[in-house]
Chain A
Amino acid sequence: MTDAAAAPRPIDWADPRLLVRVRRRHGRDAWLRAAGLTALGLAVLMLAILVGALLYNGWAAFTQTHVTLEFEISPQRVKPEDPGAGNFRAIVQEAVYGLFPEVTSRRDRRELMEMISSGAPYLLRDRVMADPGLIGRSLRMAVPVSDPFDQLAKGLIDRNTPESRRRVSDAAMARFDRLVAMGLVSRPLNVGLITNADSRFPELAGLKGALWGSFYALLVCFLISFPVGIAAAIYLEEFAPRNRWTDLIEININNLAAVPSVVFGLLALAVFLGWFGLPRSAPLVGGMTLALMTLPTIIIATRAAIKAVPPSIREAALGLGASRHQVVFDHVLPLAMPGILTGTIIGLAQALGETAPLLLIGMNAFITQAPDGVMSPATALPTQIFIWADSPERGFVSRTAAAICVLLLFLVAMNATAIYLRRRFAKQW
């Protein structure tokens, strides 16, 4: 051994070579920080562009142009003993013609009627059926205008394009402007977007059916995947012996979580519809299909949460003479619950946005009323977006974007719930 090894050389902290090293280290720190910030900035920018584009395209669908008309509900048109069978079309026609007495030719009158939503007679019928006392009286009511005039009111149709290439003729435009001048046109919040079911007419189409369809499908999905997932995870973590079989099962579960969702759709098509003969388009089948996909997520999350429970807690309970199920239900599950719930909600949020398997089992049908149970045909939010995105009418463009906003809103709400639960129930030990 040399003397130097025995007595280490004192460090000269002011040595310039050392200072260079220190500076270089600081430089690298700054570089790492900048890289991270840039990446984060890019991610936020992308998100902002996405949300911005959706809101820009969708804002028009959050309001709906209405025109207020005076309807004469005469007993000749609507029989009090059977109001549903009344000729409401004629009443709407009378109301519109009354505003434009100078329009008499059949062609012009038809064009006049095109201004009002074709659904107006049905809205009027529903109103009268809810309150038969209206028969024989006159009723002021706002009804939606048809899609081209809604676009016109929102400034989405350029008045300067030549008439031949415009969906609204000069005469029709002038008549609409007259309605505006009379103060009959209003643009309230588009409540129908949430309270109406789907419709051929964009001005009447809403998400009610899709919301209920998604709700029922997620309910079925939750009722199946939550208990089954937790039971499977408990068995695998607490009871299963460690051997080749359980390893194989574990690998399969992890792989299942990565299987493309369309494959589950094909499976459901073959098994649930083909063998079991369950109805097409039913939220029950949709929920069962989504449960297949959510199950691995819940099992994996539950197992991770159970694993995170410290073994000393298990030992303490076993040492007091608790049996396996008491250890699980009294100690392990309560401690694992925040993790389990978080995983479940994230799984359900994924299921909410899942489209492909639902398309395969027919949850993209055109259905104009909300489902009244898990067996009646329905659409779901993502498939409704798919249908609307596919529709030619201009009005569906903004409605598609608005529907995506609604879907994103639900996803954000669910993920926020997951975060809240994790914070709220996080225990320390």
Chain B
Amino acid sequence: MSPVKMTARGVNVYYGDNHALRDVSVDILDKTVTAFIGPSGCGKSTFLRCLNRMNDTIPTARVEGSITLDGQDIHDPAVDPVQLRARVGMVFQKPNPFPKSIYDNVAYGPRIHGLARDRAELDAIVERALTRAALWNEVKDRLSSPGTGLSGGQQQRLCIARAIATSPEVLLMDEPCSALDPIATAQIEELIDELRQTYSLVIVTHSMQQAARVSQKTAFFHMGQLVEQGDTTKIFTNPSDRRTQDYITGRFG
């Protein structure tokens, strides 16, 4: 059994008066893929954004409860959110490349964290990240053209490349394959499998098959609550909650 990387205990999130997450407690294991599933609007993205304190940037959002990374509370004043976000990377639900070149998109993280000693090393990091995100072959001849000029699916992979270029310890992926064709999806799933050897991953997905294929742990959210969590095989073959059963068999959501 892998050690615990992150824990969440009694997390509540409010957007103004909207109580978006109610008392969520989850363990995220190291070297494991955890899938968050649930109907649209149930709070998956909201919870994901708690894990790297991205909700701090929304003025109306209020987060309660305790979340730890390697045993340390991430809301501790000693923890720098900037440092935290470098360790807990994120791929957003909507592709959001910078209006800069493809190269600069991927190189931005390594640059601001000083991960490359020289240009050659940076080139290598960029190439490796793009290759792993299954984008290298499509863009290797136009690295200097703008990232915003790529197709939706290419932008999604560019954002994945950008996130993994900084080698985060935990990678949060919010529907990373929503705009991808089956081949690219398979490549990303391969990447997820490979990243699992070293990192801890959390993936939000609306595809039950994908959750079943790539994850070892699954958590099912419903209307702001965490209904059920456990081994993926157990959730998909023998869920203990009625709502989970209904959702994965496609009866609602």
Q: Please give the residue numbers on chain A whose beta carbons come within 8 Å of chain B beta carbons, in ascending order.
A: 242, 310, 312-323, 326, 330-331, 335, 427-429
Contacts and interface: CB of A to CB of B under 8 A. Distances in A.
B110 to A, nearest CB: 10
Q: Which interface residue of A313, A315, A321 has the most chain B CB atoms within 10 A? A: A321
B112 interface: yes
B151 to A, nearest CB: 15
Given A321-B109, A326-B112, A427 B99 contact: yes
What class of interface size applies to chain B in its complex with A? 20 to 34
Interface in B42-73: 52, 54, 57, 59
B148 interface: yes
Nearest to A310: B96
Q: Which interface residue of A312, A314, A316 has the most chain B CB atoms within 10 A? A: A316
B105 to A, nearest CB: 9
Q: Which interface residue of B54, B57, B83 has the most chain A CB atoms within 10 A? A: B57
B159 interface: yes
A323 B159 contact: no
Contacts of B89: 319-320
A311 to B, nearest CB: 8
A428 B86 CA distance: 27
A86 to B, nearest CB: 68
A315 B85 contact: no
Given A320-B86, A322-B112, A429-B99, 15 more contacts: A315-B96, A316-B98, A316-B159, A317-B98, A318-B54, A319-B89, A320-B89, A320-B108, A320-B166, A321-B83, A321-B109, A321-B166, A322-B82, A330-B112, A331-B98
A376 to B, nearest CB: 46
Given A320-B89, A320-B166, A323-B82, A314 B112 contact: no
B162 interface: yes
Given A320-B85, A320-B162, A428 B98 contact: no
A429 B96 CA distance: 9
B252 to A, nearest CB: 30
A313 B96 contact: yes
A427 B90 CA distance: 25
Contacts of A322: 82, 108, 112
A124 to B, nearest CB: 63
Contacts of B142: none
B49 to A, nearest CB: 9
Contact of B85 (A313, A314, A321, A429): A321
A321 B90 CA distance: 10
A316 B166 contact: no
Nearest to A311: B57
A316 B109 contact: no
Interface of B: 52, 54, 57, 59, 82-87, 89-90, 92, 94, 96-99, 108-109, 112-113, 148, 159, 162-163, 166
A428 B148 contact: yes
B150 to A, nearest CB: 12
Contacts of A319: 52, 54, 85, 89-90, 92, 163
Q: Is the interface of B mostly helix, strand, loop or mixed?
A: helix
Contacts of A310: 96
Contacts of B54: 315, 318-319
Contacts of A323: 82
B111 to A, nearest CB: 9
Contacts of B85: 318-321
B113 A316 contact: no
Contacts of B82: 321-323
Q: Which interface residue of A242, A318, A320, A428 has the most chain B CB atoms within 10 A? A: A320
Contacts of B84: 321
17 contacts: A312-B92, A312-B94, A313-B98, A315-B57, A317-B108, A319-B85, A319-B89, A319-B92, A320-B85, A320-B86, A320-B112, A320-B163, A321-B84, A326-B112, A330-B112, A427-B99, A429-B148
Contacts of A312: 92, 94, 96
Contacts of A326: 112
Contact of A242 (B59, B96, B112): B59
Contact of B99 (A314, A318, A335): A335
A1 B44 CA distance: 44
A68 B222 CA distance: 97
B147 to A, nearest CB: 10
Contacts of B113: 321
Nearest first, the 5 A-B pairs at minimum CB distance are: A321-B86, A312-B96, A321-B85, A319-B90, A316-B96
A330 B108 contact: yes
B5 to A, nearest CB: 18
A260 B177 CA distance: 57
A197 B6 CA distance: 76
B51 to A, nearest CB: 11
Contact of A313 (B59, B99, B166): B99
Given A242-B59, A321-B109, A321-B166, A315 B86 contact: no
A355 B89 CA distance: 56
Nearest to A312: B96
B227 to A, nearest CB: 28
A429 B148 CA distance: 6
Nearest to A242: B59
A330 B112 CA distance: 10
Nearest to A429: B99
A320 B81 CA distance: 11
A141 B20 CA distance: 89
A323 B113 CA distance: 10
Contacts of B159: 316
A118 B108 CA distance: 69
A242 B16 CA distance: 14
Given A321-B85, A428-B148, A316 B97 contact: yes
A274 B91 CA distance: 60
Contacts of B94: 312
Nearest to B80: A323
Nearest to B165: A320
A315 B92 contact: yes
